[in-house]
Chains A and B, each alone.
Chain A
Amino acid sequence: AQSVTQPDIHITVSEGASLELRCNYSYGATPYLFWYVQSPGQGLQLLLKYFSGDTLVQGIKGFEAEFKRSQSSFNLRKPSVHWSDAAEYFCAVGPKAAGNKLTFGGGTRVLVKP
């Protein structure tokens, strides 16, 4: 069965510092991979996705993620965080067939210190 693990429940980072959020997945084949962000009172917003090709994908808001097949990982990074990046971040996987039955990780809550 597929599963997604986000080992860090909370991360606190200083504004301007770099950020890396970890995501590991277990799946029968290479799935579609996603990162979503949820700001307080908002829905889940797609940051970026990986389907195939270049393993380093760029997303919105200055985020990027790298797919590493050998490690079954899809870690999210941002070189310099802004206070507005404080939110909860979810990694998700889904099948390459149509359907969008996404399996989510538990989320990582990011706090940004001034």
Chain B
Amino acid sequence: EPEVTQTPSHQVTQMGQEVILRCVPISNHLYFYWYRQILGQKVEFLVSFYNNEISEKSEIFDDQFSVERPDGSNFTLKIRSTKLEDSAMYFCASRVQGAEKLFFGSGTQLSVL
């Protein structure tokens, strides 16, 4: 089965630093998502992206966050100035048009010190 690939699997950063989490969605998918899961809490929706723009974002997705599809294959999540509370597992997901099945990556564990 095709896979969504996320890199790195673990990222450690200092508070206030910028981080970029990378995702390679499945090649024919057009809809892209970021979710996150803080340790011990639920998986939460962050943002959805289609046709090179944000379709929907949650309250969590404030001005510190941005997403980009810089080329035909990558989909990135940038956190401009990380805070301790940004420590979480970040999941990328994608799907084809017309289908509801989301394919998730294995996640990037972000630790902000």
A42 touches B100 (CB 8 A): no
B102 touches A41 (CB 8 A): no
| With A43-B91, A44-B91, A106-B42 as contacts: A100 and B107 at CB distance below 8 Å | no
- Chain B residues within an 8 Å CB radius of A46: 101-103
Interface residues as binary, A45-65 with B (CB distance below 8 Å gives 1, 0 otherwise): 110010100000000000000
The number of residues on chain B lying at the interface, defined by a beta carbon within 8 Å of a beta carbon of chain A, is 26
- Chain B residues within an 8 Å CB radius of A42: 106
B45 touches A51 (CB 8 A): no
- Chain A residues within an 8 Å CB radius of B6: 43
Specify the chain B residue showing the minimal Cβ separation from A92: B43
Interchain residue pairs with CB less than 8 A apart (5): A43-B3, A46-B102, A49-B100, A101-B48, A103-B45
Interface residues as binary, B63-107 with A (CB distance below 8 Å gives 1, 0 otherwise): 000000000000000000000000000010101000011111111
B4 touches A100 (CB 8 A): no
- Chain A residues within an 8 Å CB radius of B93: 44, 100
A100 touches B33 (CB 8 A): yes
A100 touches B44 (CB 8 A): no
B42 touches A107 (CB 8 A): yes
- Chain B residues within an 8 Å CB radius of A11: none
Once bound together, how far apart are the Cα atoms of A73 and B45, in whole Å? 22
Which among A4, A32, A100 has the greatest number of chain B C-beta atoms within 10 A? A100
B55 touches A45 (CB 8 A): no
- Chain B residues within an 8 Å CB radius of A43: 3-4, 6, 91, 103-107
Of A41, A90, A100, the residue contacting B43 (CB under 8 A) is: A90
B91 touches A100 (CB 8 A): no
Would you list which residues of chain A between 17 and 74 have a CB under 8 Å from chain B?
32, 36, 41-46, 49, 51
Asked if B56 is an interface residue, CB under 8 A from chain A, the answer is yes
A100 touches B105 (CB 8 A): no
Q: Knowing that A44-B93, A46-B101 are A-B contacts, what are 9 other residue pairs whose CB atoms are under 8 Å apart, sorted by A's residue number? A: A44-B43, A46-B102, A49-B100, A100-B100, A100-B102, A101-B45, A102-B43, A102-B102, A103-B45
